């Protein structure tokens, strides 16, 4: 008779190899227990980067990385932002319009980055900033949408979001958004990949602990787009999702996929109240 193999021993072995505890690999999958992390008080001087139990990745960063983020002249993400500032007023497409043609100065975007992703009743779907920007390009400017992870889309997303720097994340999960939120929460808590791990196993159960040389944060979204020193480039939240999936030997989904869109809503909601930091700098 053919015996059914179980992934549990593999998960335990891999968990120990990565420095995760056996208790983590055996942790309960009851989603109701893992909506909010339980955290220690924020370090002195970093209280503004905490809200309730939520902790920004800024708290987990080294002092050198925080210093790099705080100085707009030194923050490498501003190479992309400066280009986007020029593009803001540059007409494109068959409509010969620019972002400024409809929205005025970029400062008019203050507060916008704090409420995305959000459900758009006009199209009946969830939009994040990247998709909102591309919708403006295709419909308002009649221009070609930018591809995901291109310098243009990353820069413009950062430019728009940074107008809300310091404002609290405030995404809604009410009404039609609730369905997406629930799908994102399920994704966050579901074991996947050869390592049989869920997002929560690192970012809730083990946040603040080390996995090899990597200090595990809560995986908050308030700093995205972010310049990662590892990437030597600005990157989106969905690129980070794909990297996490790759690390646990799970399928990498497409940027902007329905699954990642729902996950973005859930992950962003977990950080409601944290300050917008984009474009941040992370390890």
Q: Are 186 and 263 in contact (CB under 8 A)?
A: no
As a whole number of angstroms, the distance between CA 283 and CA 65 comes to: 7
As a whole number of angstroms, the distance between CA 206 and CA 245 comes to: 17
**First CA to last CA across the chain, in angstroms?**
50
DSSP output for 170-193: ----STTHHHHHHHHHHHHHS-BT
Q: State the catalytic residue, choosing from 102, 199, 202, 244.
A: 244
Closest to 208 in 3D by CA, of 16, 4, 21: 21
Closest to 272 in 3D by CA, of 201, 220, 197, 217: 220
Helix (H/G/I), strand (E/B), else coil: 57: helix
For 149, phi then psi, to 5°, come to: 70, 10
Residue 244 annotated to the active site: yes
Catalytic machinery residues = 244
């Amino acid at each position: 008779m053919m015996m059914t193999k179980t992934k549990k021993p593999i998960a335990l072995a891999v968990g120990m190899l990565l420095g995760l505890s056996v208790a983590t690999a055996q942790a309960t999958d009851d989603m109701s227990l893992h909506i909010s992390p339980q955290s220690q008080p924020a370090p002195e001087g970093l209280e503004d980067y905490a809200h309730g139990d939520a902790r920004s990745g800024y708290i987990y960063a080294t002092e050198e990385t925080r210093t790099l983020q705080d100085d707009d002249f030194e923050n490498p993400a501003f190479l992309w932002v400066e280009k986007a500032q020029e593009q803001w007023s540059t007409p494109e497409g068959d409509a010969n319009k620019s972002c400024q043609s409809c929205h005025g100065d970029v400062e008019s975007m203050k507060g916008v980055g704090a409420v995305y992703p959000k459900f758009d009743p006009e199209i009946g779907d969830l939009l994040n900033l990247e998709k909102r920007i591309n919708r403006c390009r295709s419909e308002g400017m009649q221009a070609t949408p930018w591809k995901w992870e291109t310098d243009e889309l990353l820069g413009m997303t950062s430019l728009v979001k940074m107008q809300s720097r310091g404002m609290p994340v405030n995404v809604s999960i009410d009404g039609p958004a609730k369905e997406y939120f629930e799908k994102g929460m399920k994704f966050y808590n579901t074991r996947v990949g050869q390592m049989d791990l869920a997002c929560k196993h690192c970012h809730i159960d083990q946040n603040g602990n080390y996995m090899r040389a990597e200090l595990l944060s809560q995986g908050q979204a308030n700093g995205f787009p972010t310049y990662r020193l590892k990437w030597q480039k600005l990157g989106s939240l969905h690129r980070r999702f794909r990297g996490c999936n790759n690390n646990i030997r799970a399928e990498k989904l497409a940027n902007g996929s329905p699954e990642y869109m729902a996950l973005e809503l859930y992950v962003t909601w977990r950080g409601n109240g944290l300050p917008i930091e984009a474009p941040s700098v992370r390890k």
